[in-house]
Structure formats: structure tokens, C-alpha cells
Structure 1
Amino acid sequence: GASAEHAMDLYLRPETAQGIFVNFLNVQKTGRMKIPFGIAQTGKAFRNEIVARQFIFRMREFEQMEMQFFIKPGTQKEWFDYWKETRMKWHQSLGLGEENYRFHDHEKLAHYADAATDIEFKFPFGFKELEGIHSRTDFDLKQHEAFSGKKLQYFDHEDNSSYTPYVLETSIGLDRMFLAVFSNALVEEELDNNTTRTVLKLPAVLAPVKAAILPLVKKDGLPEIARQIVDDLKWDFNVDYDEKDAVGRRYRRQDANGTPFCITVDHDTLEDNTVTIRHRDTMEQKRVKIADLKEIIKAEVDVKHWLMKMK
């Protein structure tokens, strides 16, 4: 925290970006990268906050994820607009509600920036910054050049010239992202039968457990079939097996854990190799073939499918 004593001063990085700038030429040359390209990094960052507050929203030690996107001077406006649109589309793809996001453009810019905006999220305590997008010009690389005496320029073979790249930065706090998702997902729902359920409506792609396999009863061979389904699905997804208590209670437990799908094995399964699959958010239940389970779950939880939806 803040201190009036300086006898034991410690200096910790306030951002992860500077390591990227120092290593710009190493990455560019060894990777044979052509501009435009980005370097991303996640790691610990530290701020000397006077008052840490609002749970994990503002802390002195936190996880930061940043990307420095190196571009040709003069193209920064179009790339700034591109990353604004792209990053907002990424956030909204998580399904937390488009109305919970907004841009906040900076009126006062840092001395090195020519454009800056924040993506704000509606936390329980109001709209607050979740991610920053900044056009940093060539300030960082030129400062490292000035104090190190080493050139950090890029040779552009297309126009046969050397220049110091401009930089577009996107910076997001992992802890804040977790708080945004978790605070939005945890709800108490009123049901039609005048009861309530606690449900953690995590985006399916982020849910720790993707499906729970539940035998209706602990006899008649149903647990054995359920275990076979677990053994088949566990190579592709993190799945859970639960046979304790009535099936309704098991549904509630998985709802509270954020599990997107519950798969129930019953006596009809013995006859036709079908099971009941229940969706966490809608509580809708469908009868499907065991052989189709993998594709049904993958369509909802797979990172590849999620990213392709943003195209």
C-alpha cells in the first residue's frame, strides 16, 4: 500500500506491456513476422492503489492480459476502429447481454496516445472499465530506442523502407473478466411451481464441467450404462457422474455448479439406447441417441464453434 517511508522501496511492473516492447525485434525476426502482427501476454501486474475496493475489481496485485498490435504509421485510425469492433464482438459472444456493454471514449488522452476508449461492463456496482483499447503511436518503441541506444525499427520489404511501428493496444483484467462473468451468471430463478432454483448461467464454453451423467436409479444396470457414457465423453469434455439423491435434487446441484447439460439414463435406455438431455438455462428436456451426445455437447461448449460464431 501507500507509504511515507522509502527505506525499502520496491518496484513492480504496473503493466505487462513493456516486456513485449523490449522483445519486439526478437519476436519479429525469429518469427519472420510481417506487419501488421500482434504479441499477446498474460501475467501479474501491480498498482499502488490507496484503497483496494469492490471485491476483486480493484486490487494491488492482479492478472492482466494485453496485446500490442504493431502497425504501419498512418493506419492507426482504421486499426483502432477494427479492434474496437472486434473486441466488443468477442465480449458479446459470451452471451452476457449486449445491454451490459458500452464504449467510453477518453476525452483526456495520455501524452503518447492519439485515441483511447474503454469497454465498460455493467457490474453490480455500475458500469466500470473492463478493457482498454489504446492507440499508443510509436512512443514505447522510441523510448526504448532512446534509452537503450538500440534501434527497434521494422524493415518493410514492400516499400523498401524502415520505420518505427505504431502500436494498437488492447488490455483486459482477467480478475475483472471473472467478476463480470460470475456476477452476471449467478441468479435466483422463480419457477412456475412457486419454487426457486439457484443457477450459475456460465457461458457454456467457460463452464468447468460440461455435462453430468445421471442414472435414474442405482440398479437395473443403469449405473453401468451411465459409466460407459462417462468413459466415452471424458476424452473430449470434463464430465461429472452423480447417482446420489433424487434426480431432481441432482439437477439442482448441477444448476448451481453451472453445468450446461444433464444426461439421464433411465429404463427406456435399456430398450432403445436413448437418454434424456436437459439444458441448464431453459430446463428443456429432449430424448436423444447416446451416439449423438458428443456432437450435441460439442456444438454448445467447443471453443472452435464459439470462435467461429464471431466471424
Structure 2
Amino acid sequence: MPVTHLDSLEKIVSLSKSRGFIFQSSEIYGGLAAVYDYGPLGVELKRNIQGEWWRAMTQAHDNIVGVDAAIFMHPKVWEASGHVEGFNDPMIDDKQSKKRYRADMLIEQHILKIREKGNTEKADELQHLLNTTGTRKGLCEDLYDIIITEEIKSPDSGAFDWTEVRQFNLMFKTHYGAISKDDDDVIYLRPETAQGIFVNYKNVLDTSRVQIPFGIAQIGKAFRNEVVARQFVFRMREFEQMEMQYFVEPGTDEAEYEKWLQIRIDWHKKLGIRADNLRVSPHPEDKLAHYARAAADIQYKYPIGWQEVEGIHNRTDFDLTRHTEYSGKKMEYFDQKEQKRYTPYVIETSVGLDRTTLMVLCDAYREELVEGETRTMLKMHPKLAPTKVGIFPLIKKPDLQELAKKIELDLREDFTVLYDEAGSIGKRYRRQDEAGTPFCITIDF
């Protein structure tokens, strides 16, 4: 029987809706763009992935502990981290369609089209201009000049009628308290979970009897007001992160970075993800984030192309030093053995839970041609499967139903199980194939 793998994201979107993995949020009101709800199977799959990550990152190590920091944090946290000043995207508006675009992505798409036409020299020249934006007039001005000079048109309207490029902060802003609405009460929904770990570094150090090197792990929601949020649950405005910050002695950071990069790529493979669909993509030095000494993406080959599912970063002592500066509280570590003080460096592992869930669904997707009919199945690792066992009495006969119910009750103590007596036995099996259920028990005569 010929078997094919996933070739379009739309098939996953359709299967997710029909089998109860993922729904459009507020669907009865027309939905909300780039916001999704996890259904009965989706929430079980996501919880299983969370459990595997938590065990691998905390239970498997004697020097990694967990925290659960609040979503609301003191506004100065985000000043110290640089998010208030620098967590921006350069945006430009099409005056005709009123749609907004990231200016650098418009140019990237333009360069790609030129390269596809075979004009490599021109593409390289424009890429150099893009890579050096901000070194001539300023970031926004340089991007605008490229768009105007190249006469880049709007992808939607085809118009060449742009506003100027301006910075757009990606943090959701609100007011803390029920009365005042002035700037003194401004607070943000956290755009990342990492800062909740950094501000609790001293608390954990003082209460958990940990010593360098040690890690702090956290799973939680983050929020980014992405102007371009699309591609199903791959890029959303509300998403979930699984992060671990590993605090190390300066000088050991490079070796620890390489160690954790390998540990994390191995973890994805242990989930049953095919090795040929995974790769590591190091960041070139000129593309590193302001806080990073080294960085790499663990990428998966989604139907939309190779995309990041997890990032590994050597954040140096940037975060702890900034929080020392802004809070006035020392973030040093005293090494009793060596009798010296230092601010630890940090190795970060940051994986998107929603992206991982999408990766598992994409990698598990199969289409099988049986007697001219295309059948869909999900072949995922049993430890991730939302339902572990399907239980089917062959026919609706009391003694078979009674035995099937007894087996269901026995298994339910340790496994997620599904009892199903509706329809032909073949259709029941096919329903479980589409749900990724690894084991089915039929109660026969």
C-alpha cells in the first residue's frame, strides 16, 4: 500500500479541526486571527509533550529546578531586558489596502524573486544593503530607501504607495489597577518567559541549595503583538514556551553551549521525529541578538519550509548584569571552593510548545492508498499519543460490551483510553488511525 507524507499545511489544519486537535478561537463569532484553542485530542498531545520536556529537563538532572513566574511583572523588568526600547519590528503600510508589512521581509521576498530569476549579482548586492541597514541614515530610513529605489510593490494590492517605515513595539500594553489610566500604571503582558527566571535567580540560589552549574526551567504563556501572525499555530500572538536557563561559570560557557545543543537535538529525535526532518542552523556573527555570544536554531522541515522549533543561545552575563544595574541588587555567585565571586553566564534552551505540537502532527501525518481510497493516519510515538488505547466490542452484544467496559475501567487507571461501539469495526479503527492511537483492542466472540 503506497504511503505518502505531508505536503501541505492545509491538510493538518483540516485534520486538526475534524479530529478535535485544534480549533479556531471564538469560531462562532467568526474567529480571531492567529488565535487558536486546543481541543480534546490537542490538549492531551500538548500535555504529553510538556511532560516529556519537564522530565527530560528537571527529573533527569539533579541540578535543574523549576519555577512558575507570573505573566505580569514589574515594568522595570522589561526596561532592564531591553524590550521597552528595542523589542520592535520595522513596519510599513500600504496606503491603498491599509495592510501593514514588515519592511525587511518585503525586501527579503524581493531579493528571493531576483535570485530565482538568476540575477545572483543583483541579489547579493541588495542582500548586502539589507544586512547593513542602520549604518547609513538609520534603520527605518535605510529600509525605506531600498523599497523606494527598488520600486517594491504591495504583495496584496500591487500598489506602490507606501507610508514611511516606522518601528512597532511587539509588547501588549495594558494598565495595572482599576482606576488610573496614566503612564504610571502601564504594565505589559510578558513577551518571553526567560525574564521570570532571571529575576528569580537569587531566590532559587538562596533556597534550593544549588551550585553553579545549575538550571531553572519553566513552561508558560508569552504574548507578542505580531503584525504578521499566520501559518496556523506556528506563529501566534499568544503562545507557550518551554525554557531552561543554565547558569555557568564564565569560561565554561562555550563547552556548555555545545553540550546543550546536542542534548536538545537528541530530545527531538527521542520524540520520534525523523532525523532527516531536523537540522541545526547556527546564527552568523552579524545576525546574533544583542545579548548573544553564540546562537543556533533547531529547525524542522515543516510544509512551509525549514523553520525554527527551538533556539539555543549563549546569553553571556547580559541579563543578570542588566538586572543588577536596574534593580540595584547584586546577581553575583560566590564560589566557595575557589573563593571568588562572578556573575554567571547563561546558556538558554527555548522551545515553542505550539511549534513542537505542530511538528509532531506534521511528522506523524501519513496518507495511505487502499483500494483506490486515500486514508489518513497519524503515526506518532506512543508516549505522545493523546489516546493510548481504543477498546471496541465487535458488536453491540451485552456480554461483549460488559467485558469491554471492564477492560476500559482497568486500563483507565494508567492510560488514556477510548471506548467506541458505534459503526463498523473498520471505521472505528480508521477513526483511531486519524487520532494517532497506537493500540486498539477488539472484544470478539
1:196 to 367, 374, 382: 374
What pairs with 1:49-88 in structure 2 (closer than 5 Å)?
49-88=226-265
* 2:317 corresponding residue in structure 1: 138
CA distance in 2, matches of 1:204, 1:265: 22
Aligned to 1:114: 293
Equivalent AA in structure 2 for residue 236 of structure 1: D
- Residue 22 (structure 2) aligns with: none
| Alignment-derived partner of residue 326 in structure 2 | 147
Distance 2:187 2:301 in 1: 35
Partner of residue 127, structure 1: 306
Read off the aligned partner of 1:174 and give its amino acid letter.
Answer: L
Secondary structure of the corresponding residue to residue 51 of structure 1: coil
Q: Give CA deviations for 1:274-305 in whole Å, capped at 9, x if unaligned.
A: xxxxxxxxxxxxxxxxxxxxxxxxxxxxxxxx
State the Cα deviation string for residues 21-59 of structure 1 (Å, max 9, x = none).
Answer: 111010111111111111111222222322112122122
Q: Deviations over 1:231-287 (max 9, x none)?
A: 1111000111112222111111111121111011212xxxxxxxxxxxxxxxxxxxx
Counterpart of 2:393 in structure 1: which amino acid?
P
What is residue 138 of structure 2 aligned with on the other side?
none
Matches within 5 A, 1:119-268: 119-191=298-370, 193-219=371-397, 221-267=399-445
Whether 1:39 and 2:216 are equivalent positions in the alignment is yes
Letter in 1 for 2:327: S
The 1-side partners of 2:219 and 2:402 are apart by 43
Quote how far apart the aligned CAs of 1:10 are: 6.1
- 2: CA distance between counterparts of 1:124 and 1:250? 29
Residue matched to 1:284: none
Q: Aligned partner of 1:25: which letter?
A: K
Aligned-partner residue type, residue 198 of structure 1 = T
The total of aligned residue pairs comes to 264
Closer/same/farther in 2, CA of residues 10 and 35 from structure 1, 3 Å limit: closer
In 2, the alpha carbon distance for the partners of 1:171 and 1:250 equals 39
Which amino acid is the alignment partner of residue 265 of structure 1? I
Letter aligned with residue 434 of structure 2: A
Higher mean displacement: 195-204 or 119-128 = 195-204
Q: State the alpha-carbon separation in 1 of the partners of residues 189 and 442 from structure 2.
A: 52
Q: Describe the SS at the equivalent of 2:383.
A: coil
Identity score, percent: 57
* In 2: Cα distance, 1:236 partner to 1:61 partner: 32
Over aligned residues, Cα RMSD in angstroms? Answer: 2.0
Q: Which has the higher contact order (CA 8 A, sep 6+)?
A: 2
Q: Residue 266 of structure 2 corresponds to which residue in structure 1?
A: 89
In the alignment, the residues of structure 2 paired with residue 218 and residue 50 of structure 1 have an alpha-carbon distance, to the nearest angstrom, of: 54
TM-score by length of 2: 0.56
Runs of at least 5 residues in structure 1 that lack an aligned partner in the other structure: 268-311
Q: Do structure 1's residue 19 and structure 2's residue 196 form an aligned pair?
A: yes
**Residue 218 of structure 1: how far off its partner (Å):** 2.1
Q: Secondary structure at the match of 2:216?
A: strand
The structure in which a higher percent of residues are strand is 1
Distance in 2 separating the partners of 1:213 and 1:83? 41
- TM-superposed CA distance for 1:220, in Å, is 6.5
More helix by share: 2
Contact kept in structure 1, 2:272 and 2:380, CA below 8 Å? no
